[in-house]
Structure 1
Amino acid sequence: MEVNYKNVKKYNVGKKPIRQPIYLTWLIWFLSFIMTLFNKKKVEKINMEGLKGPYLMLSNHMSFIDFELTALATYPQRVNNVVNYDGYYQRAWLMEWIGSICTRKFITDLQLVKNINLCLNRKDVVCIYPEARYSPNGSTSYLPESLGKLVKMNKVPVVAVVHRGNHLLSPFWNFRKKRKVLLHTTLTQILTKEDVENKSVEEINKIIQESLQYDEYKYQKENNILIKNKDRAENLHKILYKCPHCKDEHSMTSKGTELTCSKCNHTWNLNENGTLTCLNDQTIFESITDWFEWERKEVREEIIRGEYSYEDDVEVYSLPQPYKFYKLGKGKIRHNAKEGFVLNGHYNNQDYQITRLPLQIEGLHVEYDYFRIKRDDCFVINTENDSYFIYPTKENVITKLAFATEEMFLLLKNKK
């Protein structure tokens, strides 16, 4: 049973995108140039000579600056960006005007496929961020296998866009405090039109997977990039929530350059080169990425053992239109391997229940310190015609929820 909005007309997410006016292509380039004027940056192009639309761009995703750097790199070509629905909030007219392709994250969206095909048939460029969210830890997130089918269907060249340094500049877990970092964007044509026609979907997926691999902290260490900010570790506990020594999930804190477990008193320093050093014991994980992936493995094992379960009292907001968040009030949510997500609440004198089975949701949209509603952590459950922004009562749980969502999906998919 969905939310009773009475007379609220919902936004048509699947409407056809317009062709971007050529003067806007110049304006987007100019604004991107201004916004990145004080960032040290480098753009490199490989196998791109003479390539014009139509083609698909697949980009990694770490920060809003990804859009600006991609705009600089592709000018003067028209680019239709696939944009999540909440990106239209209070600016739907603008997003429509520049030819954005709207979708909701982690749902089956057949109209999105049609709209991508429409833009490519106009001989324009379509840019997709297949990770579908900012990378929490600056390394490659899950890439859906449907990418290969999309490429094969459209029979156009494919360009991989890999940004490096964008997470180091503005990590998702502490995006408000920028650092001084060299940004390096590489555009590589990884598949020609002939390659797409001759290769299988599996071969295409393998090439895409290999081309979009990245690890910001490995990149930082290998290039001796030093981040000297005195607050560089603040909020790092939001992604490194589980202590590798005592295994507690609710006692990690961070301040300044240090990460601490308040239960067992282990403390780590985030060094200027992005590595971690335990100050009072053996350093189990020097790499943020290794610690992060260990947490993922722990959640996966918990699911396999049948021990994973999450229940919480939550505060719920929704976005049926991109102009206003509706406060739906208090609700209850549970998440487990059998039911997936089940959200129950009451609004406009009527109960509602939103469900997403594990195989219906391959990833979870999470936000650290989400500014559009209130500054706190939340996660988002999308259905085909609505988006629910959910603020947990329990602290620092959204990273584990994201792991659990992805791992449930993969475990069940691999069983089929």
Structure 2
Amino acid sequence: MKKQPDTTPFDRKRIPPKQNFFMMPLIWAICWFATRSSKLRINKVRMKGLKPPFLVLGTHHAFMDFLVSPLALFPFRANYVSELEGFENYGEWIYRQVGCLGTRKFVNDISLIKNIRNVMLRKGILVLYPEARYANVGTSSELPESVAKLVKYLDVPVVVLNMRGNYLQSPIWNLTMRKEVLLDATITQVFTREEVEKADESEINAKLSEFLAYDEYAWQYETKMAVTYEKRAEGIEKPLYLCPECGKEFCMKTSGADIECTSCGAKRHMTEYGRMVKPDGSEDEFSHIPDWYEYERRCVHEEIGADRYALDMKVRIESLPNAVNFIDLGEGRLVHKKEGFYLTFKDYGKTEPETMFFSSSSMTSIHTEYDYRGKGQCVTLSTVDNTYFIYPLEEGFNATKIQFAVEYFYKLNKKGS
């Protein structure tokens, strides 16, 4: 008999425990061994004498972030905000023991804010990765305005942990470890409590954005850090989905260290220092990978401005209501317009399809995956009590393009409000 899935919502209100004191030596040992070969260097700025409670904002490159952060905070324990996928993958008990607060991405979760406040009231440390997803091409995302509001609400010192090398070592579009990459991290007390009280939200946001900014490919080129992995370009066609020569979408393919357009035949070669060069070795305005990425963003903006952006396709849907299991919801339909997403499907236990609406005005961005657990590209849409993992069943789906559209629609809706 087929086992019935557990549909019980995750307990968002449960106060998170402190990191298990007796597990801390093991956690630090695991982190030390994991980063040893990469010669992790940690630079501390304005950290002398700082005691909890304080808030830590970290850049978000790759899974390695979770191994660097505990070492940067040593000898302190901390709580970490984590998405529910980690709870489901590794088990809720272990995630609770290492101090994780479960939440969903790009939703307004009042229970999470209350629990963050609880960590501060008991004189703890809370680590938050405000980008809420790994870097697509090794550059920082725009900082949500809500972060400055949180800083003012908590009224504690604010620390920024800016990491380098984590993305280059294992980019989200090809997780194979690049063993030559070295790791570097700078942890800085950006605001004392007194400085938080004096600054307004715009000043806080501007300064935090400055300290959280990074460009992995610029850093790689400046430091001449060679990546000799022969297949170093394979998978990068997922974020670099548009040909800069002919402008056609979803026609890029990669092999080894090369990327090629199947429509016009244009080719680029990724050098050992992360530059995209033409077959003759020359560079152009797309040689710096983030510039190519930002060109795609501008194209999406132009497409929306000309009323040519369209997403209406058949999809496969899985839901994650808790830290126990995913639930296969079968086929559905995803439509994306200026006002938001329309997701039509038959929810578990229902007899007829229903349409859920996710407003653009509430989504600063969207969570994207390039090959989630071997199932391919997907995006997720969340309510406070469920997350829907959405996979394409038709051509024309690219998670990066959808992300660009979501971020632009949010700004357009905000401007119009």
Same fold (TM over 0.5): yes
The answer to whether residue 270 in structure 2 is matched with residue 270 in structure 1 is yes
Matches within 5 A, 1:47-196: 47-90=46-89, 91-196=91-196
1:320 equivalent in alignment to 2:321: yes
Q: Per-residue CA shift, 1:333-373, capped at 9, x if unaligned?
A: 111113x11111124423232210111211111111111xx
Aligned counterparts of 1:252 and 1:388: Cα–Cα separation in 2: 28
Separation of aligned partners in 2, 1:279 and 1:355: 47
Q: Determine the C-alpha separation between the residues in 2 that align with 1:98 and 1:165.
A: 24
Give SS of 2:142's match: coil
Q: What residue in structure 2 maps to residue 43 of structure 1?
A: 42
Q: In structure 1, list runs of 5 or more residues that go unmatched.
A: none
Q: Tell me which amino acid in the other structure corresponds to 1:131.
A: E
Matches for 1:8-407 after TM superposition, within 5 Å: 8-90=7-89, 91-279=91-279, 283-338=284-339, 340-347=340-347, 348=349, 349-371=351-373, 374-393=374-393, 394=395, 397-407=398-408
C-alpha distance in 2 between matches for 1:179 and 1:286: 24
Q: SS of 2:99's equivalent? A: coil
Shift of 1:35: 2.4
1:168/1:179 contact within 8 Å kept: no
Give, in angstroms, the shift of residue 300 of structure 1.
1.4
- 2-side partners of 1:257 and 1:107: how far apart? 38
Change in CA separation of 1:355 and 1:176 when aligned onto 2, cut-off 3 Å: farther
How many residue pairs were aligned?
Answer: 409
Separation in structure 1 between the aligned mates of residue 71 and residue 200 of structure 2, nearest angstrom: 32
Q: Distance in 1 between matches of 2:376 and 2:307?
A: 30
Distance 2:31 2:283 in 1: 45
Match of 1:190, SS?
strand
**2:195 aligned counterpart, secondary structure:** helix
Deviation at 1:405, TM superposition (A): 0.8
C-alpha displacement at 1:108, in angstroms? Answer: 0.7
* Structure 1 contact 238–396 (Cα < 8 Å) conserved: no
The 3-state SS of whatever aligns with 2:36 is coil
Distance (whole Å) between structure 2 residues aligned to residue 221 and residue 415 of structure 1: 41
How far off its partner does 1:78 sit? Answer: 1.4
Counterpart CA distance in 2 for 1:238 and 1:123 is 43
CA contact (8 A) 2:38 2:179 kept: no
C-alpha deviation, 1:183, in angstroms: 0.4
Matched letter for residue 19 of structure 2: Q
Q: CA deviation at 1:297?
A: 1.1
Question: 2:412 corresponds to which residue?
Answer: 411
TM-superposed deviation, 1:318: 0.7
Q: Distance in 1 between matches of 2:26 and 2:283?
A: 53
**1:162-190 CA distances to partner (integer Å, 9 max, x unpaired)?**
00111110011111343421100110111
Instruction: Return the offset for 1:6.
Output: 9.6
Name which of structure 1's ranges 38-47 and 22-31 shifts more when overlaid on structure 2.
22-31
Retained in 1: the 8 A contact 2:79–2:126? yes
Does the Cα contact within 8 Å between 2:342 and 2:355 map onto a contact in 1?
yes
Distance (Å, rounded) in 1 between the aligned partners of 2:410 and 2:92? 32
Is the 8 Å Cα contact of residues 266 and 279 (structure 1) preserved in structure 2? Answer: no
Maintained 8 Å contact 1:170/1:179 = no
Residue 7 of structure 1, CA deviation: 7.6
Pairwise CA distance, 1:141: 0.7
User: Amino acid of the residue matched to residue 176 of structure 1?
Assistant: T
Question: Residue by residue, what CA displacement relative to the aligned partner does 1:187-212 show, whole Å, maximum 9, x if unpaired?
Answer: 01111111001111111111101111
Cα pair distance change 1:56/1:306, threshold 3 Å? same
Code of the residue aligned with 1:56 in structure 2: it is L
Q: Deviations over 1:13-47 (max 9, x none)?
A: 33211122322233221221222232221111011
Distance, in Å, in 2 between the alignment partners of 1:243 and 1:6 is 43
Q: Which runs of 5+ in 2 are unaligned?
A: none
Equivalent AA in structure 1 for residue 315 of structure 2: V
Contact in 1 for aligned 2:6/2:325 (Cα 8 Å): no
Coordinate RMSD, CA, aligned: 1.7
The letter for the 2-side match of 1:180 is E
Partners of 1:366 and 1:380 within 8 A in 2: yes
TM-score, length of structure 2 as denominator length = 0.94
SS at match of 1:81: strand
Q: Quick one: which amino acid aligns to residue 274 of structure 1? A: G
Q: In structure 2, the residue corresponding to 1:308 is in which secondary structure?
A: coil
Matched-pair contact (CA < 8 Å) for 1:25–1:75: no
Aligned counterparts of 2:253 and 2:37: Cα–Cα separation in 1 = 32
